[in-house]
């Protein structure tokens, strides 16, 4: 109903995230359920939670960065609000991921 949210944007984001592969498992981040609570807000603002596969995941920063970059590449995305949970340094990583480039 809200014209500011293109109806195809959610599908495009999920399709792009299916291309982000965890090098340890060779599975994509959607299949692994590492991205949760994905929402498209008016104006192309994308909100989601990144939850690494373990609290001590050695590649959490790498995966979070890959996810953020993949979402940013989707036409229509203007900004991201990322929350990290289930990780030993979740507060620090959340701040890092939400810092403007």
Q: Is residue 3 domain-resident? A: no
Give the Cα separation of 28 and 79 in Å (integer).
Answer: 22
Listed in sequence order, the residues at least 6 apart from 21 whose beta carbon sits closer than 8 Å to its beta carbon are 27, 28, 29
**What pLDDT shows up at residue 5?**
64
**What pLDDT shows up at residue 16?**
97
Q: Is residue 4 domain-resident? A: no
Number of domains in the chain: 1
Give the Cα separation of 53 and 60 in Å (integer).
Answer: 8
Q: Is residue 22 domain-resident? A: yes
Range of the domain at 42: 9-98
* CATH for 43: 3.30.300.130
**What pLDDT shows up at residue 4?**
59
Q: Is residue 28 domain-resident? A: yes
Positions in the chain whose pLDDT score sits under 50: 1-3
Give the Cα separation of 88 and 83 in Å (integer).
Answer: 13
């Amino acid at each position: 109903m809200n014209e500011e949210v293109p109806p195809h944007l959610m599908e495009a984001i999920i399709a792009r995230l299916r291309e982000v592969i965890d090098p340890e498992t060779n599975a994509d981040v959607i299949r692994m359920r590492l991205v949760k609570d994905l929402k498209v807000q008016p104006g192309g603002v994308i909100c989601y939670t990144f939850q690494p596969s373990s609290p001590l995941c050695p590649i959490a920063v790498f995966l979070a960065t890959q996810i953020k970059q993949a979402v940013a590449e989707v036409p229509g995305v203007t900004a991201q609000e990322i929350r990290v949970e289930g990780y030993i340094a979740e507060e620090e990583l959340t701040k890092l991921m939400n810092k403007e480039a």
